[in-house]
Structure 1
C-alpha cells in the first residue's frame, strides 16, 4: 500500500474558536481533577455559557469539596469531550484546561441551574461549577478526503 492509499485518519489541530464550538455542540464530557494526589475522571453533562463550561454537582461529590477548598482562585481541572465514530475513527476531540470554581452567587447559581439539567437525579444537584478555559486544544480526525464525522 502506498502512502497515498493509507486509509488511516489524519489529525488536524483545531483553533480555539472551532474547538469551543464543537465542545458546545455536545452535552457530555469528562472532568479530570486531582483527588488524594491522583487524577480522577468523572463523566458529566455540561453547557457552554459565555465561553465557560458549566456543570452541576452535589454536596457529597469529590469535585464539590475539592472546589470548595480552593482559596477562591479555583482549582485546576481538565475537561474533555469528543465525538469519534467507532467504525471509521473519524470525528473530533477537545481538551480544555482551566480553573473550576463553585458558583456561589445565589442569582448566578439559580440562572445556571436552569441551563444545565443533570442526567443523574439520585442526588440533589444543588451546586454548579464554572470552568474557565485557559488552554483549549483540539483535533479533528479526518479521512484522506478531508471528511470528518461527528460535526
Structure 2
C-alpha cells in the first residue's frame, strides 16, 4: 500500500519535505557552487536586501559592487571587525521543493587594497554591465544551512 507521501504526490501535491542540517563545510561548498545570492544589511536604519553575484574565496564570500551600488557607500569603522551582514543563497526546485539553503552571518569590509581588488576581479563574473568598481569581503562568523529532502534522515541507532 502507498504511504501518505505517495498519495499526496499522486494527487499532484508536494509531500512534506524533511530538513537536514548541513555542516559548515558542506554549506560553504554548496555556496561556492552557485554565483547568485542575497545580501542583507542595514540601510538608513532599515533592513535591506539586494541580489548580488558572489564567489567563495577560502571561507570568505566576495561580492562585486559597482560605484552606484548602495552597498559601495557602506563603510565600517577602521578599528572594528566590519559591518554585520547576512548572506543567503539557495537552490530549491519550484516543482519538487527539493534543494538547499545556506545563510552566512558575518562581518563585511570593502576591499580597498589594489592587489586584493584585482584578485577579486579575477574570480568574479558580474552579471550587470559595466566595470566592477568595488568588492565586499564577508568573513563568516555563523554558517547555517539545510537540505530539503523527500526522505527523512536515517535513524541513528541507540547505543
Alignment RMSD: 1.6
Cα drift, residue 60 of structure 1: 2.2
Cα drift, residue 124 of structure 1: 3.1
Deviation sequence 1:38-85 (CA, Å, 0-9, x none): 11111111100011001110222111111x2x1133111000000000
Q: Which runs of 5+ in 2 are unaligned?
A: 6-14, 154-159
Q: Which residue is equivalent to 1:26?
A: 34
Q: Which residue is equivalent to 1:5?
A: 4
Cα separation, 1, equivalents of 2:40 and 2:86: 5
DSSP 3-state at the match of 2:126: coil
Aligned length: 141
Question: Which of 130, 136, 139 is residue 137 of structure 2 equivalent to?
Answer: 130
> Is residue 110–residue 134 contact of structure 2 (8 Å, CA) maintained in 1?
yes
Q: Which residue is equivalent to 2:59?
A: 51
Cα drift, residue 111 of structure 1: 1.1
* Superposition pairs of residues 110-121 of structure 1, within 5 angstroms: 110-121=118-129
DSSP 3-state at the match of 1:95: strand
Cα separation, 2, equivalents of 1:38 and 1:141: 31
Over alpha carbons, which structure has the higher Rg? 2
TM-score by length of 2: 0.84
Runs of 4+ in structure 1 off by over 4 angstroms are none
Q: Which residue is equivalent to 2:157?
A: none
Q: Which residue is equivalent to 2:94?
A: 86
TM-score by length of 1: 0.88
